[in-house]
């Protein structure tokens, strides 16, 4: 019996039991070698003597051991001890999608698409390794307390090959594809079908096919038409409904060709949810449907727009990022009819919910602040009227209102209606709200008096130079570079200005300089630079020295600093059987199946030292004397 404090393999200390399934129990444990929490799935004793169950249990580890992806639960180790078979995997604190749907009901379309995209990415990574999951269902999809979605349980997965693959082991019948139901050929399109059924359940709160027994449900997958999801979710956008319908076509050749194609449409649905762009060649009833197709965009553009659609919406920040919070450890329980959590579990769950909500609020606030959507730190005041008031008096009144003198920008114009030194207009009208982080522009009658005595001269030809000098010298605390740019920003006349150089300034400094020059920054982009430090301006869309109209717009390119080189590695098992690997530099270890390999990407080091140790025939005992230590060079990304 496994109890708290028991050590497995002299390495993993059991902390508590977190779940139980039909053929295994799952425990939270501490890995004392790598100092991290892990989840250990242990085959139940009644199945340990059954070679079929043991083989199936091992298949899960062998199928997923070579997969490393943010949307897949990682497998770290596999072994046996005293007749007990176990798999060590990533510990994720969270909730199954099944429980999330049951507690929330119907999900809104953006949340459903966001979850589907993350699941699709995990499936895509598996398909690229030639692995078909074959049991995609909400019970095998986990939403962590941080909003990350992960696919787990590759227990019936199979590696795809040129040989025929049959669904001799069928997953949950509610989500099984027609070809699985009839024990036919299974490929990546079967996972696409199952994901389509999962999406159907997310947006409607129910599965499309149900019955008294598995045979009845399987027959429905084969023969009956699915009720359109919009029948249960009237507000469902047409793009998402078409994606679900295309993914769940009974004929495989009418579904998406690859999961990558489906991901592209899901991203586009985030950007244009009400656009009818999904092409369904022919329905299962044989009626041709001609659907207009929009011009293709490149994947990078659609991905960027999809990310923005999530960032600027309150449902998932994004990410990550769900505002209904039912997080607990239920994802380890793969039985569909499990008992309710204990009172203590619910208390812990509520605490996790509160932490999750707080994280989401902070992320939304930071991103909103960055993109200028809102600013919690900026106090707002109701603007007063200073038109017709002497400039000094106007400044005093505005200072009493809460403005800093640096937040008041003054320009001068000749006027027949106002005496010199009197405010003619203000950029924010009386009664309007004004953020104390913004700049108030005042237009004053007359000409600015020079504050630089060296500029005083009766020579009228030097008046423009005098005005420029006073502007440059008005802020003695500014850097030399900033002084220069402000001098360059002198107006040539009332309607035009000379563009200053802001290259090398921080974004905030550049915006201030351009604002004072009456040039409006409308957009910024980021790029890597080997010469310009992070956060400073690399280039500007209008060259310095050009004369442009007042309030012309300009865009800036901001440096992200030098791009750090990253490397990818492929580690191949050199032994005839399974082996373990350990990478000290990355604090990473795991198991590589026979004739298998692992891929590691986005590593900052150009070389790694890897120790490979073969496992004995029992698949669990390392043969230390045959261990190999290799130093391998990475491939630059």
Residue 330 and residue 172: Cα distance in Å, rounded?
A: 18
Neighbours of 115 (CB within 10 A): 24
* Nearest residue to 89 via CA among 327, 332, 320: 332
Question: Can you read off the two tokens belonging to residue 168?
Answer: 């001799």
Q: Which helix (H) or strand (E) element contains residue 119?
A: helix 109-128
Cα 243 → chain centroid = 21
Task: Give me the residue label for tokens 């095998």.
Answer: 140
Full strand arrangement of the beta sheet holding 607-614: 588-592, 579-583, 607-614, 628-633
Residue 92 and residue 143: Cα distance in Å, rounded?
A: 9
Sign of CA dihedral 255, 259, 264, 266: positive
Catalytic site residue from 31, 77, 135, 329? 135
CB 521 within 8 A of CB 558: no
∠ CA 39-41-44, rounded to 5°: 150
Residue 180's DSSP bridge partners are none
CB 397 within 8 A of CB 390: no
DSSP SS3 for 19: strand
Question: Can you read off the two tokens belonging to residue 493?
Answer: 């006349």
Task: Give me the residue label for tokens 């986990």.
Answer: 142
∠ CA 435-441-446, rounded to 5°: 160
Q: What is the DSSP letter of 288?
A: B
Is residue 530 among the annotated active site residues? Answer: no
Cα 495 → chain centroid = 45
Counted residue by residue, the chain has a size of: 637
CB 67 within 8 A of CB 131: yes
HEC string of 313-369 equals CCCCECECCCCCCCCEEHHHCCCCCCCCCCHHHHHHHHHHHHHHHHHHHHHHHHHHH
Q: Which residues of 490-525 are buried (b: 16+ CB within 10 A; e: fewer)?
A: bbeeeeebbbbbbbbbbbebbbbbbbbbbbebeeee
Phi, psi of 422 (to 5 degrees): -100, 140
CB 90 within 8 A of CB 74: yes
Phi, psi of 627 (to 5 degrees): -65, 145
Q: DSSP for 518-563?
A: TEEEEEEEEE--SSSPTTBEEEESS-TT-EEETTEEEEEEEE--SP
95 contacts: CB under 8 Å, gap ≥ 6: 142, 143, 326, 327, 328, 330, 331
* Nearest residue to 159 via CA among 261, 57, 62, 79: 62
> Helix crossing, 259-271 with 188-204: angle to 10°?
30
Q: Annotated active-site positions, please?
A: 135
């Amino acid at each position: 019996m496994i109890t708290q404090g028991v050590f497995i393999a002299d390495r993993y200390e059991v902390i508590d039991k977190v779940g139980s399934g039909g053929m295994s129990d799952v425990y939270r444990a501490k890995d004392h070698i790598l100092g991290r929490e892990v989840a250990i799935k242990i085959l139940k004793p009644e199945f340990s003597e059954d070679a079929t169950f043991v083989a199936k249990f091992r298949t899960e580890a062998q199928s997923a051991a070579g997969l490393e992806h943010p949307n897949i639960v990682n497998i770290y180790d596999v072994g046996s001890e005293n007749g007990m078979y176990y798999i060590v995997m990533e510990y994720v604190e969270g909730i199954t999608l099944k429980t999330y749907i049951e507690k929330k009901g119907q999900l809104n379309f953006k949340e459903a698409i966001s979850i589907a995209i993350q699941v699709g990415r995990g499936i895509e990574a598996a398909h690229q390794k030639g692995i078909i999951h074959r049991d995609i269902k909400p019970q095998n999809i986990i939403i962590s307390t941080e909003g990350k979605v992960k696919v787990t349980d590759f227990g019936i997965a199979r590696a795809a090959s040129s040989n025929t693959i049959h669904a001799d082991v069928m997953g949950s019948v509610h989500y099984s594809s027609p070809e699985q139901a009839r024990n036919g050929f299974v490929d990546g399109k079967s996972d696409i079908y199952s994901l389509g059924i999962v999406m159907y359940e997310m947006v409607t709160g129910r599965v499309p096919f149900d019955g008294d027994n598995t045979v009845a449900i399987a027959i429905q997958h084969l023969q009956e038409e699915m009720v359109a999801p919009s029948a249960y979710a009237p507000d469902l956008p047409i793009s998402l409904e078409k994606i679900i319908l295309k993914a769940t076509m009974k004929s495989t050749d009418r579904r998406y060709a690859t999961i990558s194609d489906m991901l592209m449409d899901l991203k586009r649905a985030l950007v244009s949810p009400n656009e009818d762009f999904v092409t369904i060649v022919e329905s299962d009833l044989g009626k041709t449907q001609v659907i207009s197709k929009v011009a293709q965009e490149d994947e990078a553009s659609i991905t960027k727009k999809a990310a923005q659609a999530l960032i600027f919406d309150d449902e998932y920040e994004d990410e990550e990022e769900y505002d209904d919070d039912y997080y607990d450890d239920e994802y380890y329980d793969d039985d569909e009819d499990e008992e309710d959590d204990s009172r203590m579990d619910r208390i812990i769950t509520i605490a996790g919910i509160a932490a999750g909500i707080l994280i989401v609020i902070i992320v939304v606030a930071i991103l909103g602040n960055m993109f200028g959507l809102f600013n919690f730190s900026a106090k707002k005041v109701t603007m007063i009227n200073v038109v017709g008031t002497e400039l000094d008096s106007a400044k005093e009144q505005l200072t009493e209102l809460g403005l800093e003198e640096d937040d008041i920008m003054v320009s001068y114009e000749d006027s027949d209606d106002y005496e010199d030194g009197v405010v003619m207009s203000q950029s924010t009208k009386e009664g309007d709200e004004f953020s104390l982080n913004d700049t108030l522009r005042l237009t004053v009658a007359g000409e600015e008096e020079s504050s630089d005595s060296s500029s005083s001269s009766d020579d009228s030809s030097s008046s423009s130079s005098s005005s420029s000098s006073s502007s440059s010298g008005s802020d003695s605390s500014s850097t030399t570079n900033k002084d220069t740019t402000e001098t360059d920003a002198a107006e040539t006349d009332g309607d035009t200005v000379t563009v200053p150089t802001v290259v090398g300034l921080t974004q905030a400094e550049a915006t201030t300089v351009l604002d004072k020059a009456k040039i409006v920054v409308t957009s910024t982009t980021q790029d890597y630079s080997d010469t310009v430090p992070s956060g400073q301006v690399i280039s500007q869309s209008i060259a310095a020295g050009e004369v442009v109209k007042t309030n012309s717009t300009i865009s800036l390119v901001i440096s992200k600093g030098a791009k750090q080189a990253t490397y990818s590695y492929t580690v191949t098992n050199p032994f005839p059987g399974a082996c373990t690997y350990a990478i000290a530099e990355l604090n990473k270890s795991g198991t590589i199946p026979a004739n298998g390999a692992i891929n590691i990407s986005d590593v900052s080091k150009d070389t790694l030292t890897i120790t490979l140790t073969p496992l004995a025939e029992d698949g669990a005992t390392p043969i230390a004397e045959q261990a190999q230590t290799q130093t391998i060079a990475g491939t630059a990304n």
